[in-house]
Structure 1
Amino acid sequence: MYKYLPWFAVIFCLGVIFYLSHQPASVSNQLSTGVTQAILSVLDNLLPEGIEIHHRNLNSRIRKIAHFLIYFVCSMLLINALRRSKSGLEFRQHALITILFCVLFAVIDELHQLFILGRGAQVSDVIIDSTGACGGIIVYYLIGKWRKSHSSNE
């Protein structure tokens, strides 16, 4: 069962991406506006008085950050699932498969949005998604190196 758990996590993450992309523009905007308001509320409570947060384009930036983060997480889950599958491939091969899959999924996801009310495909989103996927692979690699160095020191 444990060898399938990483793959369930990957499928769940891909499902979340598809679910969010399948929302009409009005619903998607309402969700991101709610997240933006929650972040602003937290920041207003954390920052000292007198410091203002410029709200202009914040919702758009948060949407882009969300693109980056979901593919960051997805790539980490995917490379982890590949590594745990004991395929005999090297890390570089797993990384390449992960990047190619994430980029392909990002392209398909953007094309899927062409058929959703009020949504559209943006090349910039694919670039942000791909950057997030690369970032996730790099962090996964660095965590692995750190864990290996700390386990050999004990």
Structure 2
Amino acid sequence: MVNSNLKNKIFRFIKYWLPVFIWLIIIFAFSNNPTVRASEIHWRDFSVKKSAHVIIYAILSTLIYRALKSNNVEMKKTGYISVFLASFYGITDEFHQSFTPGRDPTFRDIIFDTIGATLAIYFIWKLLPKMPEKVRLWAKKLEIT
């Protein structure tokens, strides 16, 4: 029979870290496919793709933040580590794309990934506390704050 401490650790891993790993797999799956144009108009294609980078890595940074916070890591360290890990994964993702036919790694994508990761933590630290109570309660329910 598994002791309750081990069960608790497994439950906490599944609850907090499994979403991070699932999101990493989703990012990997997207970057493993050849790129397609989001629009025939260059600026629109650029805007859609770079916005996707920002949003995807903002979500990743938030998930990492939530997981680290569950381990009682100090708030400032949690934010910095979240941005670092999300950005580092962006770097490894660009490296991975160098082996994917039809994909080219770009430093610009790493910048957009880092912007997304940083904006998420900025939102959690600076903007979320000033949001309406309903939004703050929603964030608390999701265990972001």
Q: One fold, TM greater than 0.5?
A: yes
The 2-side partners of 1:6 and 1:134 are apart by: 20
**Residue 68 (str. 1) matches residue 86 (str. 2):** no
Structure 1 residue corresponding to 2:87, chosen from 103, 120, 131: 103
Structure 1 residue corresponding to 2:20, chosen from 3, 6, 10: 10
**Residue 81 (str. 1) matches residue 91 (str. 2):** no
2:119 equivalent in structure 1: 135
Unaligned runs of 5+ in 2: 1-10, 138-145
Shift of 1:145: 2.9
Shift of 1:82: 0.6
1:26-65 → structure 2 map (5 Å cutoff): 28-29=35-36, 33=38, 55-65=41-51
**Residue 19 (str. 1) matches residue 29 (str. 2):** yes
CA RMSD of superposed structures (Å)? 2.3
Shift of 1:139: 1.4
Question: Across the two proteins, how many residue pairs are aligned to each other?
Answer: 124
Shift of 1:56: 4.6
SS at match of 1:16: helix
Higher relative contact order (CA 8 A, sep 6+): 1
The answer to whether the 8 A contact 1:3-1:85 is kept is: no
The 1-side partners of 2:130 and 2:70 are apart by: 18
| The structure with more radius of gyration | 1
Shift of 1:6: 2.2
Q: TM-score, normalised on structure 2? A: 0.75
Shift in CA distance, 141/4, structure 1 to aligned 2, threshold 3 Å: farther
The 1-side partners of 2:52 and 2:117 are apart by: 12
The answer to whether the 8 A contact 1:18-1:109 is kept is: yes
Q: Percent identity?
A: 25
Shift in CA distance, 140/3, structure 1 to aligned 2, threshold 3 Å: farther
